[in-house]
Structure formats: C-alpha cells, structure tokens
C-alpha cells in the first residue's frame, strides 16, 4: 500500500495507492484512490478518479473520465470515456467517444461511436450505429411495431429497434390457411435500413430469416426485401415491395410451399427459390 502521489510501478497480489499514480499497477487487485496515468492490469482494477492509459482485467471500474481502453468481462466508467470498452458488459454512465463492443452495452449519455453486442442501450448516438439483437436508442432512435403480410405467412407482427440507418427486426408470423397447430407459426430475425426519398417516401431494404415452431431445425427461409415506403404521418407508414426468398428444408423432409408467389424454382428436394411480395403497416412510438 502506498500513500500520496507516486510515479513508479506496483507489482504484487494487492496494490493500493491513496493519491494520484503514474506508472503501472499489476496484481490480482489494483486500487487507486486518485487519478491514474498509466496502466492497471489485474483481475480487479479500480480507479477512484480519472485514468489516462488503460485498464485490463476481469472487472474494470473508473469513477470519472476514462481516456483509453477498458478491456475485461465487466467495464464501468462513471464520467464518460474516450477510447473503447471491450467486454461482456460495458457501462458508460455519461456517454463516451469510441466503440462499445460486448454482449450488453449501456450508455446513459451521448455516445459517439458504434455499439456492437447482443443488447445495446443508449440515450442518444452521434456518428455511430448500434448493431445487435436488441438495440434501444432512447432519443432520436427508431422504434416501431409492424403488421406484415408475406407470401409464406399472411399474418405477421414484429418490432423494429435501432436507428433508421440500421435497425434490427424481431417478428412472429402465422399462416391461417394451413390450420392451427404449432407448426403453422414461425419466428424470425433480420436487419434493415431506411433511406429517405424526399419528404414522405423512403427506400427500405431488409434481410430477414425465419423458421417454423417445431422440434426440428427447419425449414428455414432467408428473404431479401427491397421495399419502398410512404410516411402517412409521423407515426404511421406503409411499406410494400417484392421479395426474393431462399428456402432450405433443414431437418424436415419437405419444403414449405408459399401461400402465393410471383415465380418459383425448385433447385432440389432440399432447396428452392421463390419470388413473392411483402406488405407492411408500421406504427412508430
């Protein structure tokens, strides 16, 4: 344990410094009460003030500004960061400048940079996009619920989250023409983008994949959707366009026939291609 300010290196099992520190702390647990100018490398790294340099460990935490990378399983910075957070869980209390890459990324301020993870949550974004299964941008983000009709399922409901430049879509679908058992339901996931064309019209390409609710893996359908849309008002919009779908039978013995199609081609007993159409009614919230 060292008292006051130090310009040196601390190497051991537990390192603690009560003032500002310049140098390297390398041990199982590293704690610096003041500011750090250098590197902390250990299982647990804690800075009570700001750091300029980096933190490398299982748990990294800084109370104030972080200038440099945090690389670990859990990364937390209280005063924002300038650099990067790379870990399983990344949290920036006051935003930051740079990427957050992990399984769960959270920023309660403005983030200038991308979020890449399974779950991304941010107050607002600047010069970046969220890429993940669920991405929630509280201010200025894209959030919508959509009813859709497709050549494979006449009833579909989905939620779209992210920003207009890049969003994820999660949906469930049902085909009432085939019956009412579990295999007539499907779920899917995809990505999309909204490109404005004038004040009310937009181009809306999407790439989605869906499969049936059954015990087997399949059939799976991957669709490319070059859609076009019209904003009725700030809340409601309509989308429509063609679809190009590739179907793989998976573990099932038969391919699924579309309810309707413009054209189709059966490659073999396991694969087919269909050209269809999609229609969507979208509500923004």
Phi, psi of 100 (to 5 degrees): -115, 120
10-residue stretch averages of pLDDT, the chain, 285 residues long: 63 88 93 94 96 97 96 95 97 95 96 97 94 95 96 93 97 80 81 96 97 69 97 97 92 79 90 95 97
**What b/e sequence results for 65-90 when a residue is b if at least 16 CB atoms lie within 10 Å of its CB, and e otherwise?**
bbbbbbbbebbbbbbbbebbbbbebb
Q: What is the pLDDT of residue 257?
A: 83
Those residues whose C-beta lies under 8 Å from the C-beta of residue 263, and which sit 6 or more positions away, are 274, 275
CA atoms within 13 A on the CB side of 100: 38
Give the Cα-Cα-Cα angle 102, 103, 105 (nearest 5 degrees).
65
pTM of this structure: 0.86
What the chain holds in terms of domains, given with CATH numbers, is: 6-137 (no CATH), 143-284 (2.40.160)
Distance of alpha carbon 233 from alpha carbon 64, whole angstroms: 43
Six-digit token pair at 185? Answer: 């339901």
Nearest to 115 by CA among 140, 93, 142, 95: 95
Q: What is the pLDDT of residue 214?
A: 61
CA-based end-to-end distance of the chain: 54
């Amino acid at each position: 344990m060292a008292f006051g300010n130090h310009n040196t290196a601390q190497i051991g099992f537990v390192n603690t410094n009560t003032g500002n520190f310049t140098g390297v702390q390398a041990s199982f647990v590293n704690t610096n009460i003041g500011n750090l100018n250098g590197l902390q490398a250990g299982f647990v790294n804690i800075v009570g003030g700001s750091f300029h340099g980096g933190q490398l460990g299982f748990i990294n935490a800084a109370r104030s500004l972080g200038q440099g990378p945090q690389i670990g399983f859990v990364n937390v910075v209280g005063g924002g960061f300038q650099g990067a957070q790379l870990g399983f869980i990344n949290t920036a209390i006051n935003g930051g400048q740079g990427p957050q890459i992990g399984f769960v990324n959270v920023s309660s301020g403005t983030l200038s940079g991308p979020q890449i993870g399974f779950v991304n949550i941010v107050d607002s974004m600047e010069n970046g996009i969220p890429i993940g299964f669920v991405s929630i941008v509280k201010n200025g983000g894209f959030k919508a619920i959509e009813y859709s009709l497709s050549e494979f399922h006449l009833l579909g409901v989905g939620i779209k989250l992210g920003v207009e430049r890049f969003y994820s879509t999660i949906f469930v679908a049902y085909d009432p023409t085939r019956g009412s058992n579990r295999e007539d339901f499907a779920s899917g996931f995809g990505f999309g983008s909204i490109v404005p064309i004038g004040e009310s019209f937009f181009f809306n390409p999407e790439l989605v994949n869906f499969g049936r609710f059954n015990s087997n893996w399949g059939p799976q359908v991957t669709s490319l959707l070059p859609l076009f849309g019209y904003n009725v008002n700030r809340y409601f919009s309509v989308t429509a366009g063609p679809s190009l779908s590739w179907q793989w039978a998976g573990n099932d013995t038969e391919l699924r026939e579309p309810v309707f199609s413009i054209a189709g081609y059966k490659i073999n007993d396991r694969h087919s291609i269909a050209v269809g159409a999609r229609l969507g009614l979208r509500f923004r919230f």
